[in-house]
């Protein structure tokens, strides 16, 4: 995964601006671009795990490329959340 090591912020992340900052760090200039669906998946998990928001209903039809990208983004979102929460070295 291409996530920079400086994403380990405090567990106090809880605002949209905080999530925006994490997204900017994760999708830094020079990283291979990711689709909007992938980025939505990352954000959905960061919002859920770091701010307690509910995960929105799946916005794409199962079995589509868009759904696959969204689910892959959620996997990265879990990785980032674990780093922020100090659950991963």
Q: What is the pLDDT of residues 8-55, one digit of tens each?
A: 444 456 889 999 999 999 999 999 999 999 999 999 999 999 999 988
- In this prediction, residue 10 carries a pLDDT of 45
Q: How confident is the model at residue 61 (pLDDT cuts 50, 70, 90)?
A: very high
- In this prediction, residue 9 carries a pLDDT of 45
CB 13 within 8 A of CB 50: yes
From the CB of residue 85, how many other CB atoms can be counted at a distance below 10 Å?
Answer: 15
Token couple for 21: 């900052």
What is the C-alpha to C-alpha distance for residues 34 and 68, in angstroms, rounded to an integer? 13
What is the C-alpha to C-alpha distance for residues 72 and 60, in angstroms, rounded to an integer? 13
Q: Where are the beta strands (DSSP E) in 1-89?
A: none
| Residue in the block written with tokens 């909007």 | 36
What is the C-alpha to C-alpha distance for residues 15 and 34, in angstroms, rounded to an integer? 23
């Amino acid at each position: 995964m291409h996530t920079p090591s400086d994403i380990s912020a405090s567990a106090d992340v809880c605002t949209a601006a905080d999530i925006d900052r994490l997204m900017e760090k994760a999708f830094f200039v020079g990283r291979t671009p990711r689709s909007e669906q992938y980025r939505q998946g990352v954000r959905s998990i960061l919002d859920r795990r770091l701010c307690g928001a509910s995960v929105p209903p799946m916005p794409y039809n199962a079995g589509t490329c868009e759904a696959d990208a969204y689910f892959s983004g959620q996997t990265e979102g879990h990785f980032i959340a674990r780093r922020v929460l100090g659950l991963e070295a």
